[in-house]
Amino acid sequence: MENDAILKGKRPAGHIGWVIFIGMLLLSASCGIPPEAQGTQPEELEGSRTQALSVDLDGDGTDENVTYRRTAGGFELAIDGKELGEELAAAGLRAENAHDECLAVDLDTSDGFVEIAVMSDGGSADHRTDFVRFDGGGAVYLGGVPGLVNGEAPAAVPDGEGGVSSYVSFELLQRWTFPAEYRLENGRMTVEMQEFYVDEALKTFNKTALIQLAAYDSPEGDGRHVIDAGTALALYGAAPAEEPDGEGWVLAGDESGKPHYLRAAFPGAVENAAGEWTAAADAIAGLELYG
């Protein structure tokens, strides 16, 4: 059946290949839509219409009937008539500003399951795709990744082998975004942590410490010292937080070029010299929203 084709095959080389690949994914994932409607279906969407898909989610050879509808508070999802929204919310799935349609995505073509991808835009362009598996009995929330699997930028690109190429972002009023790989491990989408994300191209200048800041020699947290108020800084970027509300690190450089790792808490607080959190705007001058 059509859906078996999603994400199968070799990883196309290069960006153009991915665009084509995603286009194929979109078409093949519209499995409940009559073939003649597939080409124009995304443009025909309206706010709250119910989407119907017919797809074998658990690999038992029989299609499940999936209905999905965006709501003011998130989305409704039913499989063979059984409403699963509450179950998924209890499992931690939040989809703020969910998209009008979900997609059937085969995260791992070797495991017999086809997942439902719920895309959302979040509160402030915090694009996200969450994955739901139907195991024959109920829905299992697999977690999610930043980015959208429907081809819109910022994109998340499944490889069909359990991995998703996406990104991590962290912000101290300014937001930094770095490429990152995610992988389905033990039924949970997990970011493959890197030691530290730094990109010289994302360096921003003309910051000034407004208060005494705590700083460290490395993102392991050693060599704690204090940056004096009035110190001119450049900010390079940030490591990812392991959880959206977690902590991360921002790398600052002073005029001598000496690096200082600042401990930061999502979505915009920095550790002061007393070891407490201070709102970033009160701690560092010159931060620009999403600069």
Tell me how far, at minimum, the Cβ of 164 lies from Ca ion, in Å.
13
**Judged by CB under 5 A, does residue 137 bind Ca ion?**
no
Instruction: Please state, in angstroms and rounded to a whole number, the distance separating the CA atoms of residues 113 and 105.
Output: 9
Tell me how far, at minimum, the Cβ of 91 lies from Ca ion, in Å.
20
Tell me how far, at minimum, the Cβ of 59 lies from Ca ion, in Å.
7
Of the pair 96, 135, the CB lying nearest Ca ion is at 135
One-letter-per-residue 3-state SS of the chain: CHHHHCCCCCCCCHHHHHHHHHHHHHHHHCCCCCHHHCCCHHHHCCCCCCEEEEECCCCCCCCEEEEEEEECCEEEEEECCEECHHHHHHCCCCCCCECCCCEEECCECCCCCCEEEEEECCCCCCCEEEEEEECCCCEEEEEEEECECCCCCCECEECCECEEEEEEEEEECEEEEEEEEEEEECCEEEECCCCCCCCHHHCEEEEEECCCEEEECCCCCCCCEEECCCCEEEEEEECCCCCCCCEEEEEEEECCCCEEEEEEECCCEEEECCCCEEEHHHHEECCCCCC
Tell me how far, at minimum, the Cβ of 67 lies from Ca ion, in Å.
15
**Judged by CB under 5 A, does residue 130 bind Ca ion?**
no
Tell me how far, at minimum, the Cβ of 191 lies from Ca ion, in Å.
20
When binding is defined by CB under 5 A, the residue of 93, 104, 106, 287 that contacts Ca ion is: 106
Subset of residues 32 to 91 that bind Ca ion, contact rule: CB under 5 A: 56, 58, 60, 62
Tell me how far, at minimum, the Cβ of 34 lies from Ca ion, in Å.
21
Candidate segments 18-26, 98-106, 142-150, 169-177, binder of Ca ion by CB under 5 A:
98-106
Cβ–Cβ under 8 Å, residues 118 and 138: no
**Judged by CB under 5 A, does residue 108 bind Ca ion?**
yes
Of the pair 1, 289, the CB lying nearest Ca ion is at 1
Of the pair 113, 266, the CB lying nearest Ca ion is at 113
Tell me how far, at minimum, the Cβ of 113 lies from Ca ion, in Å.
4
Of the pair 1, 193, the CB lying nearest Ca ion is at 1
When binding is defined by CB under 5 A, the residue of 111, 192, 282, 288 that contacts Ca ion is: 111
Q: Which residues bind Ca ion (CB under 5 A)?
A: 56, 58, 60, 62, 106, 108, 111, 113
